[in-house]
Structure 1
């Protein structure tokens, strides 16, 4: 997308166009003849100038847009997505042969064939009834009136005629004509606010950075604006603000309190400063998703800020949407099969922020749950590649449990495979080289190659473009000072004759990856060795300085893989009690409980649950696990020696809740 543009601003005074104007081709002059089977999107949208009026007593909105474009190859028409929009009039900068509707598309014809490099504009006057893409909350007297848009994946076309593709980026201006008491938010910065008439005002917003239309945004309503309590190092507090209903101010301050810190963390980790002039977060009623990362202006459902910040903190959602300002907005997936570049990165950077602020134990516990979510979703018929080209609707790719956790797990694997320094260098290259561009997954591959990481062709073929993940059966035994390890990949083998994807055939189904083995010998230090798995079955023999106290496979959870460890029960219990990996301790606990082996070590489990020095979420998991034991030993222990009410009240809220459920005391 070109940065230089020639602007043709529309006068706001001309908002109410006359359909009889000779400058426009009115309805009824539609051109019937069209060329079929010929590419129609052979242009680049450069800028949208949008004027939109919302009146509380009106069940529809009225708007006009002027889109500037540049032709990329010879064409005799411009095709725009315009679903459900009532087109009143169309004007172009070139002699026009009329316009026509073809399903959800608007086709505007030119008398002559335009050549590559030709620049021009089309202007459209239209109206629509809110539904998809734009939502009105005006009819319920119990709700403060407001309106908002939501464009992902292909819903911008329901409120704006546009080239509704993540690959076509453009700057935009938005002129909102709204009641004088309303607050507005859009992408970029507010340029001006002035009187339109006695009841309405005009608010001008400008987004200079080029974005796909699904990231355009407009919110307006009876809101209040709250500045952040502090600045970030890259963005002043007056440019970090929250727009909420008047009674929600205190909740918003608490829910969004970490925003400046998250901005600083991502800016520092990537060595790329927050890319926009402001960051706003708006909460609305009935938002169709949890939140949406519109460029510089996230919209979220109101429920995000209303929960208990200790039991259900809002900051993970805040961090996820903020991460998108770099991954999804500054750099965007070119097409929806590569949406993991948006969602996988946002999921992983939320986890990285957790690690930086709450420690490695908290990271491994929660990221382990992320991996588990992926493994549980990507099974059977749903076992698919992270990059998937076959789908019915783009949003289907977002909802099957793959691109969020599966994408994040691939990034974590890259970090573990190549190390922290190389990983951060590659991420910086990815953002810097592709700034304000829409890319596919190969752009990330090139960034890692440029950072000096080898083997990227095979990695991307296997871990991104091929389906599934390793399912590992692991065994170990020790004789004297020799440790014998056997690794088997037991995931289904793929028949190359039935594959529809060249990347899903042959040896690629046998994954290649590093496997870390961490252990502690009795009376010794914790040590770690890395072995490389390159075949379906492999055996290793490692020399150790003494007898093993405990042993852990993949303790840092680098692998998006299921691990089943064949070992004595006593070894599993020692992992639970002594391993230095929180992920390993949780997996050991689950193994004990799944086989009801925890019943034979109830005192050990209780000692963890009652130990204030233990990591909180491990204590919670232990209490939940003991509830699942067939004989519910926790209940009998609690009945004989019940915890005091004072002890329960002093526990962190989540742990207190689990204890009360376990012992039947509410």
Structure 2
């Protein structure tokens, strides 16, 4: 974690393959029947994030709004899957630069699918590798895609790569931040309702973990992934609400600038937040970072600030009511413009009503295509 290196590395492999590593490709040379690729990384990076990939790949090169080169790799037989697999990549990259307020800190960004990968993705500096199970065509995209993992590993280029934790106790500074900023990137694509639904679903999982007696503090180095990732993201959402957008963004920018290329602790970050906002962070730390119980009451208060979540909670409360008692709520849910997330909740309740003749007749007429306009969140 604490080792920072600059380096040159060369990879020699059969010439029919493509070799990929961190940093900038300086040159390729032919060596007998092989080829040698020479890479350079002249900005200090964590040694545990060095990566080398050799395989049969094609690449699509694109430029971000800030003129950073992006290299999107794919297997030759997956040409038609390249667009759906990497859909929204440039938009998310541009958004993260703007939202974070710090330009992408490296010269190039590569993404490479690999086979039999143990994890969803790994944020190697400038060279994310990810499981090729996320390589999908246009139809499969709707059932499962690379967007969330893509945004998460991309956010790590700032949170984890540019600024790195000193030890596992502060792991949320990497995973919590990457999860939070990937949620913001998805909000840019899918809308605010999607963001709040993700928060809600994460809260449900964290509450279940607490009720099962498996809750751990965010600053516990042995905490679960659920805690480091989802609880960490929740802590940042709560912090932003507490100190406001302006101070939150300024705190993050100051944090990244001050500790660029260095290792940090949670107190390093909180000190900057306190200095920027003029607020004592002790209570926030106790509630969100050292508390072994997920603060569900506070989370509910934050969720209720969303009009969509208020509508959702009112509809969800009908799940224990009869169909007759819920009828008027369902009619309101189907008023145009229709919110897809609320309709999904309504349909799940109709299924619980065992698809009675009454409910089926009710839903059949309002869902005529010419009568509805779906506003996707």
Same fold (TM over 0.5): yes
Matches within 5 A, 1:487-566: 554=301, 556=303
* Distance of 2:322 and 2:186 partners within structure 1: 30
Unaligned ranges ≥5, structure 2: none
- Match in the other structure for 1:354: 186
- Match in the other structure for 1:282: 112
* Distance of 1:651 and 1:255 partners within structure 2: 30
Q: Secondary structure at the match of 1:306?
A: coil
Q: Secondary structure at the match of 1:404?
A: helix
- Match in the other structure for 1:636: 357
1:411 to 215, 236, 239: 236
- Match in the other structure for 2:343: 619
Q: 8 Å contact 2:64–2:93 — kept in the other structure?
A: yes
Say if 1:174 and 1:420 are closer, same or farther in 2 by CA, change over 3 A.
same
- Match in the other structure for 1:218: 52
Matches within 5 A, 1:435-474: 435-472=260-297
Runs (4+) of structure 1 exceeding 6 A deviation are 648-653
Say if 1:555 and 1:449 are closer, same or farther in 2 by CA, change over 3 A.
closer
Q: Secondary structure at the match of 1:438?
A: strand
* Distance of 1:256 and 1:455 partners within structure 2: 42
Matches within 5 A, 1:53-64: none
Unaligned ranges ≥5, structure 1: 1-165, 392-396, 473-512, 516-552, 559-579, 656-666
Q: Secondary structure at the match of 1:583?
A: helix
* Distance of 2:182 and 2:314 partners within structure 1: 26
* Distance of 1:650 and 1:260 partners within structure 2: 35
Q: 8 Å contact 1:278–1:296 — kept in the other structure?
A: yes
Matched, 1:208 2:38: no
Matched, 1:382 2:184: no
**Cα deviations by residue, 1:159-207 (Å, 9 ceiling, x for unpaired):** xxxxxxx12221232211111011111111111110122x211111122
Matches within 5 A, 1:40-189: 166-189=1-24
Aligned-pair Cα RMSD in Å = 2.7
Say if 1:592 and 1:639 are closer, same or farther in 2 by CA, change over 3 A.
closer
Q: 8 Å contact 1:289–1:301 — kept in the other structure?
A: yes
- Match in the other structure for 2:163: 331
Matches within 5 A, 1:286-305: 286-305=116-135
Q: 8 Å contact 2:338–2:373 — kept in the other structure?
A: no
1:364 to 182, 196, 200: 196
Cα distance, 1:642 vs structure 2: 6.8
What is the number of equivalent residue pairs in this alignment?
373
Cα distance, 1:398 vs structure 2: 4.9
Q: 8 Å contact 2:200–2:303 — kept in the other structure?
A: no
Cα distance, 1:555 vs structure 2: 5.2
**Cα deviations by residue, 1:526-561 (Å, 9 ceiling, x for unpaired):** xxxxxxxxxxxxxxxxxxxxxxxxxxx725468xxx
* Distance of 2:159 and 2:373 partners within structure 1: 35
Cα distance, 1:378 vs structure 2: 3.5
* Distance of 2:147 and 2:119 partners within structure 1: 16
Q: Secondary structure at the match of 1:588?
A: helix
* Distance of 2:174 and 2:205 partners within structure 1: 18
Cα distance, 1:641 vs structure 2: 5.9
Larger Cα-atom Rg: 1
* Distance of 1:461 and 1:641 partners within structure 2: 50
Q: 8 Å contact 1:445–1:457 — kept in the other structure?
A: no
Q: 8 Å contact 1:608–1:614 — kept in the other structure?
A: no
Q: 8 Å contact 1:609–1:623 — kept in the other structure?
A: no
Matched, 1:606 2:330: yes
Q: Which structure features the higher share of strand residues? A: 1
1:306 to 123, 136, 143: 136
Q: 8 Å contact 1:364–1:557 — kept in the other structure?
A: no
Q: Which has the higher contact order (CA 8 A, sep 6+)?
A: 2
Cα distance, 1:609 vs structure 2: 5.3
**Cα deviations by residue, 1:309-362 (Å, 9 ceiling, x for unpaired):** 234342222111111111111111111221111111111111212333433222
**Cα deviations by residue, 1:361-383 (Å, 9 ceiling, x for unpaired):** 22212222222222222334311
